[in-house]
Amino acid sequence: DTAVSQTPKYLVTQMGNDKSIKCEQNLGHDTMYWYKQDSKKFLKIMFSYNNKELIINETVPNRFSPKSPDKAHLNLHINSLELGDSAVYFCASSQGLGPRGEKLFFGSGTQLSVL
Amino acid sequence: AQSVAQPEDQVNVAEGNPLTVKCTYSVSGNPYLFWYVQYPNRGLQFLLKYITGDNLVKGSYGFEAEFNKSQTSFHLKKPSALVSDSALYFCAVRDLRDYKLSFGAGTTVTVRA
């Protein structure tokens, strides 16, 4: 059983299109995240939801909109895709945000290529 | 603001030799410190963390890390490297008062047979 699964694994699309990436976790975690990894492997947080509430919203263009229908799912919708959006997007989850410094469990990533 | 520096882009070692991957951090308060490993075409996997207590932390796959508050460092170590340890290693820090986990730029480790 995959703990954090995201689909699709690969996404190739044209500039200007709208696309979504889905993420599901079966760990019973309260907190989910979206990270972006660029071509130099630099990893940057985009969003985080805790119990379906948005708690981290980094400086990300409005074209990116996360949606959390329930605690187990966090989807990422991207409007009007641009060349610079090409990257690997990782979903992650953790038990919570508390004082134990909960570790993150990552999905295997979605490689987005905008042509 | 919190940040992490991994001064080496690449580390190359021979199998059986000790492996060290360096990390220094900057936070305004007490840090939570983590190491993650990424194998090709995979997501990151947790290796170990330091929250409080003993400065030497042991983790998965024989890795350990030493927290040094005076040098603001959290270097990852393994006494005897394996070829299968070849991967991309990320150090990360979180301020106790902040929800965000900030990652370093990563260090590519290559262990040659």
Do the beta carbons of residue A73 and residue A15 sit within 8 Å?
no
Q: What is the pLDDT of residue A55?
A: 85
Cβ contacts of residue A105 below 8 Å, gap of 6+? A3, A4, A25, A27, A29, A92, A93, A94, B46
CB contact under 8 A, B43 and A97: no
Cβ contacts of residue A93 below 8 Å, gap of 6+? A3, A4, A25, A27, A29, A31, A32, A33, A104, A105
B52 touches chain A (CB under 8 A): no
Instruction: Report percent pLDDT > 70 for chain B.
Output: 99
Q: What is the pLDDT of residue A59?
A: 78
When the pLDDT of each residue in chain B is averaged and rounded to a whole number, the result is: 93
CB contact under 8 A, A101 and B43: no
Query: Can you tell me the distance from the alpha carbon of A49 to that of A96, in angstroms, rounded to the nearest whole number?
Result: 10
To the nearest whole Å, the CA of A72 is away from the closest chain B CA by: 18
Q: Is A90 exposed, middle or buried (0-12, 13-18, 19+ CB in 10 A)?
A: buried
Q: Which residues of B touch A109 (CB under 8 A)?
A: 41-43
Residue range A62-87: mean pLDDT, rounded: 95
Query: Can you tell me the distance from the alpha carbon of B7 to that of A39, in angstroms, rounded to the nearest whole number?
Result: 19
Residue of B36, B44, B100 lying closest to A45 (CB–CB): B100
Residue range A56-72: mean pLDDT, rounded: 90
Query: Can you tell me the distance from the alpha carbon of A104 to that of A94, in angstroms, rounded to the nearest whole number?
Result: 5
Q: What is the pLDDT of residue B23?
A: 98
Q: What is the pLDDT of residue B95?
A: 77
Interface test with B, best of A104, A105, A111 (most B CBs within 10 A): A104
Whether the pLDDT of residue A65 is over 90: the answer is yes
Tell me the pLDDT band of A25, cut-offs 50, 70 and 90. Answer: very high
Residue range A86-97: mean pLDDT, rounded: 92
Q: Which residues of A touch B51 (CB under 8 A)?
A: 99-101
Say which amino acid occupies A12: V
Q: Which residues of B touch A44 (CB under 8 A)?
A: 103
When the pLDDT of each residue in chain A is averaged and rounded to a whole number, the result is: 92
Residue range A98-107: mean pLDDT, rounded: 82
Total Cβ atoms within 10 A of residue A98 = 10
To the nearest whole Å, the CA of B27 is away from the closest chain A CA by: 15
Tell me the pLDDT band of B79, cut-offs 50, 70 and 90. Answer: very high
Regarding predicted confidence, which is higher, A99 or B56?
A: B56
Q: Which residues of A touch B (CB under 8 A)?
A: 4, 40-45, 48, 50, 55-56, 58, 90, 92, 97, 99-101, 103-109
CB contact under 8 A, A99 and B96: yes
Q: Which residues of B touch A40 (CB under 8 A)?
A: 105
Please work out, in degrees rounded to the nearest 5, the angle formed at the alpha carbon of residue B9 by the alpha carbons of B3 and B14.
130
Q: Which residues of B touch A57 (CB under 8 A)?
A: none
